[in-house]
Chains A and B, each alone.
Chain A
Amino acid sequence: MSERPTAQELAEAIQEFLAGEILPTLGDHRLRFRMLVALNALGIVYRELAKLPPEDEAEERALATQIRAGDVPPGTLERVRAGVEARLRIASPRYLERYD
């Protein structure tokens, strides 16, 4: 399953936000110190994620191409929804409760 931003790209975005926008506003030196520690920790996460193999998106791409070509056999909706649900369980699990 392909997901952008990847976890690594998200870690990078958070790092830029904290270092660029929040850190300069912190006056309290203890908070500044802990923010620098947190940024170091985030750097570890970022580099560790870099070692993961890229996710295989071949199946999703084949399905998307097939639907674009107008080939929509029965069961397609169920297959598509299962893929979306799996992504939501990572991205926004509580959203699913809104359909109960």
Chain B
Amino acid sequence: MIADVREAFQLVLAGVLGRDVEVSEPVLLAGGASKEAWAVDADGEPLLVRRAAVGVIHRHTLSLEDEYAVLEAAYEAGVKVPRPYAYVPDLAGREAFVMERLRGETIGRRIVQRPELAAARSALPVQLAGELAKIHAIPAARVPFLEKAGFDRIVEELDAVGEPHPAIELGLWWLRENRPPPRPVVLAHGDYRIGNVMVDEAGLVGVLDWEFAHLDDPVRDLAFGLVRAWRFGIDDRRLGGIGEVEPYLERYNELTGFDVRPEELDYWELAGNVGWAIGCLTQAHRHLSGQDRSVELAILGRLGAEVEYEICHLLETVARP
């Protein structure tokens, strides 16, 4: 922990804003093993500071410096994101970046259920498609440090875990056998779903959590929000528990001209489930290996069976192997 938190923030934020500022007592909102999030006001301006934590940053996530650069590129492209202020190489000994602190709801369960967000839910499918189309139009040359991701990466992660999971293998087998023609890669958000967007009564306020950004087939990004785990219990609303897929797909196609077919979305929805099933195992192994001890991570090793069941369900209904 920092000896005098407020003083450290005061110093850095004065530099960022280029003037003397009155800084509120910073509040630690989330203290993960790899990254912290601090809420702080500078002259009444609400800011959010992301700062590296002590733990190891887990594989395939961006450094704070790269995440900041992606956020900047998105902001310049007109994507609804918190306004980026600055990357700070040293905030009391660790790297950090400063951005605007938006107001709204990010908790998935509330977004899919709260009565006062009903109008937001109607607006979200078209809004989500609009922001994603803007993200996918950002020239890859703007973010040259990003890497391409493919199935090799998740198979590698599965093998690193070392446990037998026949349902995941069957999903991977079907994905290999039925791959649609590849599309040119775009800047992909990498985790585009309810839970990683901020929402208010009118709908989408901002796209958050850019640490999984990479270059990929655009439809993988488009379909990730359909994964059942991200419907937060409202299973019959296939788009993130908030709405139907059709208006979302139609709007996305209208804006990008990509002409994504529903079958392609089905394919990448299955891929999203396979990816998240492996994600559950790797999260549990962060606990089991001692890298990041947490009962929340541990239980994902068991709850991954839910995702594997969904893989079986999709293989039966969509894929019929």
Contact = CB atoms under 8 A, between A and B. Distances in A.
Nearest 9 pairs between A and B by C-beta?
A64-B164, A67-B169, A91-B302, A61-B164, A81-B312, A13-B298, A60-B164, A63-B166, A13-B295
A87 interface: yes
Q: What is the size category of the interface that chain A forms with chain B?
A: 35 or more
Interface string B248-269: 0000000000000000000000
A92 B303 contact: yes
Contact of B321 (A13, A16, A72, A91): A72
Contact of B163 (A4, A68, A77, A91): A4
A96 B217 CA distance: 32
A88 B287 contact: no
Interface of A is mostly: helix
Which of A81, A84, A96 counts the most chain B CB atoms within 10 A? Answer: A84
Contact of B302 (A3, A60, A76, A79): A3
Interface string A52-95: 00000100110111011010100011011101110110111001
6 contacts: A5-B301, A13-B293, A17-B294, A57-B164, A65-B164, A84-B167
B315 interface: yes
Interface of B is mostly: helix
Interface of A: 2-5, 9-10, 13-14, 16-17, 57, 60-61, 63-65, 67-68, 70, 72, 76-77, 79-81, 83-85, 87-88, 90-92, 95-96, 98-99
B152 interface: no
Contacts of B235: 98
A11 B309 CA distance: 25
B166 A83 contact: yes
B288 interface: yes
Contacts of A81: 167, 309, 312
B173 A70 contact: yes
A5 B309 contact: no
A49 to B, nearest CB: 15
Given A4-B163, A60-B164, A80-B166, A9 B288 contact: yes
Given A13-B293, A63-B166, A67-B166, A84 B288 contact: no
A77 B309 contact: no
Contacts of A72: 170, 173, 321
Nearest to B310: A99
Contacts of B306: 88, 91-92, 95
Contact of B316 (A9, A77, A88): A77
A64 B173 contact: no
Nearest to B316: A77
A88 B309 contact: yes
A70 B169 CA distance: 9
Interface string B61-87: 000000000000000000000000000
Contacts of B137: none
Given A13-B295, A80-B312, A92 B321 contact: no
Given A4-B281, A68-B173, 20 more contacts: A2-B163, A4-B163, A4-B288, A5-B287, A5-B298, A9-B298, A13-B295, A17-B295, A57-B164, A60-B165, A60-B166, A68-B169, A68-B172, A80-B167, A80-B170, A80-B312, A81-B312, A84-B309, A84-B312, A98-B235
Given A3-B302, A80-B312, A87-B305, A16 B166 contact: no
B318 to A, nearest CB: 12
